[in-house]
Amino acid sequence: MTVFRGRDTYYWKRHIFNRLKPYDFNENNDKKEKSFDVLIIFDPNLFLEAEAEGIKVIFNELLHLDPEKESIFSVEGKPFFAISRGAFKKLKLNLKEDEKLITKLRINRNIRNIVLNQGFRVLDLSKDRIAVENAVITYQAAVLINKGVIIEDLGHFFIEGMISIGEETRISSGVVIKGDSKIGRNVHIYPHVYIENSMVGDNCTLLPGCIVRDSILEESVQIGPYTHLRKGALVKKGAQMGNFVEMKKSVLGEGSMSMHLTYIGDADIGKNVNIGAGTITCNYDGVRKNKTIIEEGVFIGSGTELVAPVVVKKNSYVAAGSTITEEVPEESLAVARQKQRNLPGWVTRKKGKKVCKP
């Protein structure tokens, strides 16, 4: 079971609390004891000491909660607790309406006694969505900070799930990290980067405005600003991608570079390749996607169109402005463009013509 895959409380209610009615603060006092199945409680004082693993235990057990029996689910030292309706009634718990606090709670379980001497805020999943999200994000950020992650702007940082982020990684303002993602050590993520279902290796740099979805960055990779990696992109060790480069279902080999205004789709690019500005892999013929293969050591000049399926053999050069439709042999120069023609006096003759008014 994936817990906190998303912070959206509607997700939790649908997948975790689908058969449990949360406490409703708006109902009349005489109906309160019968108006809910479970109370969700968190203790902000435990954030800095808590560990992520405990949350999974709590919510796995909640799936088997019987509202009528006396039961509380928690893990010692963790910030989240759940109390059944039966426990609420038997312990004669009282809620302060204005503060929504349980001031003292002592539960005797088979394994241990849990004494909660501090005030605990009750979060109603239906009414306190923002409070729940703030609680979770605070907890997640605290866990990361304690592990050596630097979060520059806690007020503008969004993380979905207990994502692994290595120590000495620096996260700037406006960063979003979602889904099944993993960030390595000593990574620098600049402002307004979006990462979803992706892996980022050690010592990587993600400059401002990058979007990384369903992709893998090996170690010591640099991308951005405004690089877009989408489904199936693999950027190998030491490779670089720059301004307004988009890559999909492709491999950029070790030490290769694509720095400006490029689309790479359904391509396999070897190591130490240079992709010039404005290069396009023309992978779609209107019916199917076709593959481009660029072997190691190739130099692709600016403004090149590679019409797939096509292969560019290793250590070859493609002249700027070429449209490549056939295989380029190893260590050769491919030039595929019309010969330039200059027409003397053409502009003078054009300007000398009278323009007919409509």
Say how far apart CA 116 and CA 126 lie, in whole Å: 25
The answer to whether residue 343 sits within a structural domain is: no
Q: In terms of domains, do 245 and 316 share one? A: yes
* pLDDT at 141 (0 to 100): 81
Q: In terms of domains, do 268 and 315 share one? A: yes
| Cα distance between the two ends of the chain | 72
Residues in CB range of 163: below 8 A, 6 or more apart: 177, 181, 182, 183
Domain boundary among 104, 130, 156: 130
Say how far apart CA 300 and CA 336 lie, in whole Å: 12
Say how far apart CA 130 and CA 55 lie, in whole Å: 19
Domain that holds residue 43: 9-130
Both structure tokens of 299:
């130099």
Say how far apart CA 21 and CA 154 lie, in whole Å: 32
Contact 269, 275 (CB under 8 A): yes
Task: Region of 178 please: left (phi>0), alpha (psi -120 to 50) or beta.
Answer: beta
Residue 246 sits in a domain whose CATH number is 2.160.10.10
Q: In terms of domains, do 92 and 158 share one? A: no
Q: In terms of domains, do 97 and 144 share one? A: no
* pLDDT at 159 (0 to 100): 86
Both structure tokens of 115:
């004494």
* pLDDT at 242 (0 to 100): 97
Contact 297, 273 (CB under 8 A): yes
Say how far apart CA 316 and CA 293 lie, in whole Å: 13
Domain count, the chain: 2
Q: In terms of domains, do 150 and 85 share one? A: no
The answer to whether residue 342 sits within a structural domain is: no
Contact 62, 80 (CB under 8 A): no
| Active-site annotation holder among 156, 188, 192, 260 | 260
Q: In terms of domains, do 71 and 154 share one? A: no
Residue type, 308: A
Q: In terms of domains, do 124 and 160 share one? A: no
Q: In terms of domains, do 272 and 310 share one? A: yes
Say how far apart CA 257 and CA 239 lie, in whole Å: 6
Q: In terms of domains, do 183 and 295 share one? A: yes
Omega of the bond leading into 208 within 30 degrees of 0 (cis): no
The answer to whether residue 339 sits within a structural domain is: no
Give the length of the chain: 358
Say how far apart CA 4 and CA 6 lie, in whole Å: 5
Domain boundary among 96, 130, 164: 130
Which percentage of the chain shows pLDDT scores above 70?
A: 59
The answer to whether residue 340 sits within a structural domain is: no
Q: In terms of domains, do 258 and 160 share one? A: yes
The answer to whether residue 140 sits within a structural domain is: yes
Long-range pairs of 63-70 with CB within 8 A, sequence gap ≥ 24: 63/16, 65/20, 65/37, 65/38, 67/20, 67/37, 67/38
* pLDDT at 163 (0 to 100): 83
Q: In terms of domains, do 97 and 237 share one? A: no
Contact 63, 78 (CB under 8 A): no
Radius of gyration of the chain (CA): 29
The answer to whether residue 348 sits within a structural domain is: no
What residue has token string 């439709």? 325
Q: In terms of domains, do 148 and 275 share one? A: yes
User: pLDDT tens-digit profile of 39-71?
Assistant: 554 443 332 233 333 344 444 444 444 555 555
Angle 259-262-267 from CA coordinates, rounded to 5°: 105
* pLDDT at 143 (0 to 100): 78
Residue 139 to residues 44, 59, 189, 252: CA-CA distances in angstroms?
8, 16, 21, 37
64 catalytic? Reply is: no
Residue type, 82: A
What is the rounded average pLDDT for all residues in the chain? 75
Nearest of 199, 209, 271, 274 to residue 233 by alpha carbon: 199
* pLDDT at 156 (0 to 100): 87
The answer to whether residue 56 sits within a structural domain is: yes
Both structure tokens of 263:
């689309």
* pLDDT at 9 (0 to 100): 41
Domain boundary among 130, 163, 192: 130
In which residue ranges of the chain is pLDDT below 70? 1-136, 139, 161-162, 354-358
* pLDDT at 236 (0 to 100): 98
